[in-house]
């Protein structure tokens, strides 16, 4: 019974890594698309969100099978329960990457000074997603807490983007519509950071049974 459980958990870890990679790639591609204004590539990101959704459902089914067939308890149950929570946030990360691509697809954007901060936000949030999945698989409490701390960096970058967008409007570098689009993109990155933080908090729960929301 224990051997079967461990085999299923290995499959779960592999599936989570694949889902995390999809999310990381989507985040990275959003900034490339933003720079290039490539509407075709933006459409590909939106279509990829369907892959993320399908992968989330596969992992959800696997988690339920593990619970029903193996009836795990204590830490084993926390790991499976945490995975169920994590994939919800990962699915939303895919949604927000698609939302960014949606903006690029319908809008002509000239890259303002804020683009540097947007790139930093994209890199930071992609890294957070990778690290929190790594922390779950390795059951690394310190790495999970590092992800949680990284959310402050993303929040600070969001504030800097808002300031630079405002300056761009004042200088006439960007139109009101362009500024709003950039602000929305920055907000989506900020939300991705929040979801990555949620994932890391569930990793902490899977390790020690404590969750920030409790």
Q: Is the pLDDT of residue 33 over 90?
A: no
Mean pLDDT of 157-177: 85
| CA within 13 Å, CB half, 99 | 18
Domain 1-208 top-level CATH class: mainly alpha
Q: What is the DSSP letter of 71?
A: -
Domain boundaries, the chain: 1-208
Q: Is the pLDDT of residue 110 over 70?
A: no
Q: Is the pLDDT of residue 6 over 80?
A: yes
Q: Is the pLDDT of residue 146 over 90?
A: yes
What does the pLDDT look like over 117-145, one tens digit per residue? 888 999 999 999 999 999 999 999 999 99
Split at pLDDT 50, 70, 90, the class of 213 is low
pLDDT of res. 32: 81
Q: What is the CA radius of gyration of the chain?
A: 19
Check the CA dihedral 170-174-180-183 and report its sign: negative
Split at pLDDT 50, 70, 90, the class of 214 is low
pLDDT of res. 109: 64
pLDDT of res. 38: 78
Mean pLDDT of 36-49: 86
Closest C-alpha to 94, from 27, 187, 181, 18: 27
Burial class (CB in 10 A: 0-12, 13-18, 19+), 14: exposed
Split at pLDDT 50, 70, 90, the class of 176 is confident
Split at pLDDT 50, 70, 90, the class of 172 is confident
Q: Is the pLDDT of residue 211 over 90?
A: no
Residues 6+ apart with CB under 8 A from 190: 121, 154, 155, 158
Split at pLDDT 50, 70, 90, the class of 165 is confident
Least confident of 14-28, 49-63, 163-177: 163-177
């Amino acid at each position: 019974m224990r051997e079967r459980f461990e085999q299923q958990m290995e499959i779960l870890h592999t599936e989570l890594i694949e889902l995390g990679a999809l999310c990381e790639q989507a985040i990275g591609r959003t900034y490339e698309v933003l720079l290039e204004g490539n509407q075709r590539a933006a459409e590909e990101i939106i279509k990829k969100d369907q892959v993320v959704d399908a992968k989330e459902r596969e992992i959800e089914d696997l988690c339920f099978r593990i619970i029903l067939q193996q009836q795990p308890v204590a830490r084993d149950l926390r790991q499976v329960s945490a995975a169920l929570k994590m994939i919800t946030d990962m699915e939303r990360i895919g949604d927000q990457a698609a939302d960014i691509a949606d903006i690029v697809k319908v809008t002509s954007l000239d890259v303002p000074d804020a683009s540097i901060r947007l790139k930093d936000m994209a890199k930071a949030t992609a890294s957070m997603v990778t690290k929190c999945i790594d922390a779950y698989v390795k059951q690394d409490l310190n790495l999970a807490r590092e992800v949680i701390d990284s959310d402050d960096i993303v929040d600070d970058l969001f504030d800097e983007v808002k300031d630079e967008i405002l300056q761009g409007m004042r200088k006439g570098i960007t139109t009101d519509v362009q500024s709003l689009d950039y602000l929305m993109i920055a907000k989506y990155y900020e939300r991705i950071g929040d979801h990555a933080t949620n994932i890391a908090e569930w990793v902490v729960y899977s390790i020690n049974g404590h969750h920030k929301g409790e």
